[in-house]
Structure 1
């Protein structure tokens, strides 16, 4: 018994037509005459031909699959975005292939190559590197992309990102509004645009406030362990311990709280600590962490909708290719627990970056 599956060329031979005519029958039957459609239908039935959905989609340039390259799944915020991307894609009848670059530029480029070879419809990539020239080349070859997590530097490449500068301002403003004046920013590296913009936003709030100072403590890994080391360093350096800390993300913020506590420094009585991202883990910590929340759901859903617009099947209208998600302040006990009021000194504000480095 011959178990070989019939191919489109077999149907074309049996019906006495070309392969392209059978393809038209499958995709655009209205362009064929009734007699031609009848011959092809009869051949399909006799050969038990099953059309390949994947092949038809590849030939049309839309496989129904989106590639997503995450930056680092060690940060819970990345998982929230990935979940939102997958959920939104499913709502529009698409599937998602997910890859994790773990912050490696080399792996990002490898995954871009892989997804292009796999003929996905388009790519969403979370990257800190300026890959716009590469993404523009891919777009010219028919592979659109959307950057998530930072604003694109190219008006040809769509992006969705948080307003990091405004978020940094809100974080420092909150610390200042509750009376804290010696502020430390914990994060890094400053070559990362999101990090530098959060610091710049905090600097703006400090510069507006008499008696306030701001230093920076490097924590380039942006992890809980790096935050813990920074907290210990702040408590034991011999310098005056800051009374407020703005951590570059929630993981670092949670680490700072633990590091300070290990040295007998109480949060928030002695030091108020606020993070950034709005991770669920920050809400259920032993001392729930105040944070600047940017909706990961909104970032993920918007990334998919931007990509669909690039593919010519928009689900909503966008005035520009670059979309910004506004942050909001979420206040929790790490900054507003039962503490005695802090009396700020009456000196002019100052901003600086310390030489302390934690990695």
Structure 2
């Protein structure tokens, strides 16, 4: 069926297209007779007004765009859910795109959202696309970057304390007596990966005789972690006694790869991840992790974007916000499930 257009309504009502537009946006300026004819034409034709078109024409939109990094990671879902929940609470809607870690797809979604005239954009990015975001900002579309520190003070952001989290992870392994550590992750061109490794390296330097090797797992998936675990379990040289995985998915894969070849976790190798995914808590061997609450990142990113748009509902003293990481010890490093910290002890976002 052919979609009924505004010109069809105008013809049926015997008025101009602009008069129908006024009826949809400013009906009070029309006469009762004109409003009645247009209302009957809309009812008879089954015309459905374009909400997006009306908002664009008035220069007002309640829609924001969110570009997720990789929905294969449950952490992205936690952030997206928090953003959508805050949008519903404030009478807004969210358009979501998944870049799957592709710079080209990130740029495609940014262009699409700008064409759709979203009021602002939240984007989780691995790449340095701030010049592109700055250009969009100059054209009237503000943005908030999640998951990494910005390059400039003008770019709003919500990031996790990646270097501090890496330090906490390695420090935990070292404090339980592990000295031959391995970092599983990549690529190091990604800010989050390099900072987590740098934090772990700092902790290792504080313990004489400790070492930190690297196994690349650039996909950051469970299958990549499994392959790394198999490699460690089957190679001829010395097995590490502690593993810091770049995220929980990789960590779960490492545990599975190690145990598939008879390596006991944590007796032989203690393993810790990063993110705080729920799936890590219910694995066969619950995974110790560095938690950076996705809900807090998503909520803060949304509220910070509203602040950039001039909404005074929540004040911020800085455009750069940091969600502090915390250590959660589970069976993969302790040998038994340790109780998690009380929920009231969750770290709150802080400014850089």
TM category, shorter: 0.7 to 0.9
Residue 234 (str. 1) matches residue 232 (str. 2): yes
5 Å-filtered alignment, 1:312-323, equals 312-323=310-321
5 Å-filtered alignment, 1:138-149, equals 138-149=136-147
CA deviation after TM superposition for structure 1 residue 10, in Å: 4.1
Alignment match of 2:35 (pick from 33, 40, 44): 44
- Structure 1 residue runs without a partner (length 5+): 30-36, 339-359
Alignment match of 1:270 (pick from 268, 271, 277): 268
Secondary structure of 1:48's match?
helix
Residue 189 (str. 1) matches residue 180 (str. 2): no
Aligned to 1:164: 162
CA distance in 2 between counterparts of 1:288 and 1:9 reads 70
Aligned pair in 2 of structure 1 residues 12, 220: CA closer, same or farther (>3 Å)? closer
Aligned to 2:128: 130
CA distance in 2 between counterparts of 1:23 and 1:334 reads 61
Question: What RMSD in Å do the two structures reach over aligned CA positions?
Answer: 2.5
Contact residue 10 and residue 17 of structure 2 kept, 8 A: no
Aligned to 2:84: 86
Aligned pair in 2 of structure 1 residues 52, 240: CA closer, same or farther (>3 Å)? closer
Aligned pair in 2 of structure 1 residues 24, 90: CA closer, same or farther (>3 Å)? closer
CA distance in 2 between counterparts of 1:9 and 1:140 reads 42
Aligned to 1:118: 116
Contact residue 62 and residue 120 of structure 1 kept, 8 A: no
CA deviation after TM superposition for structure 1 residue 9, in Å: 11
C-alpha distance after superposition, 1:30-74 (max 9, x if no partner): xxxxxxx5x646643454388865444213433111111111111
Aligned to 2:211: 213
CA deviation after TM superposition for structure 1 residue 157, in Å: 1.8
Residue 311 (str. 1) matches residue 315 (str. 2): no
C-alpha distance after superposition, 1:175-197 (max 9, x if no partner): 11111111111111111110010
CA distance in 2 between counterparts of 1:281 and 1:234 reads 23
Alignment match of 1:155 (pick from 132, 153, 156): 153
Contact residue 61 and residue 121 of structure 1 kept, 8 A: no
Aligned to 1:5: 9
C-alpha distance after superposition, 1:203-224 (max 9, x if no partner): 1111111232111111111111
Alignment match of 2:295 (pick from 290, 297, 314): 297
Aligned to 1:353: none
CA distance in 2 between counterparts of 1:337 and 1:70 reads 35
C-alpha distance after superposition, 1:304-337 (max 9, x if no partner): 1111111112321111111111111111000000
Aligned pair in 2 of structure 1 residues 121, 259: CA closer, same or farther (>3 Å)? same
CA distance in 1 between counterparts of 2:18 and 2:272 reads 71
Structure 1 residue runs of 4 or more that deviate by more than 3 Å after TM superposition: 6-14, 22-26, 39-43, 49-56
Under a length normalisation based on structure 1, what TM-score does the superposition of the two structures give? 0.83
Residue 70 (str. 1) matches residue 68 (str. 2): yes
CA deviation after TM superposition for structure 1 residue 131, in Å: 0.7
* Structure with the larger RCO, 1 or 2 (CA within 8 Å, 6+ apart): 1
CA deviation after TM superposition for structure 1 residue 154, in Å: 2.2
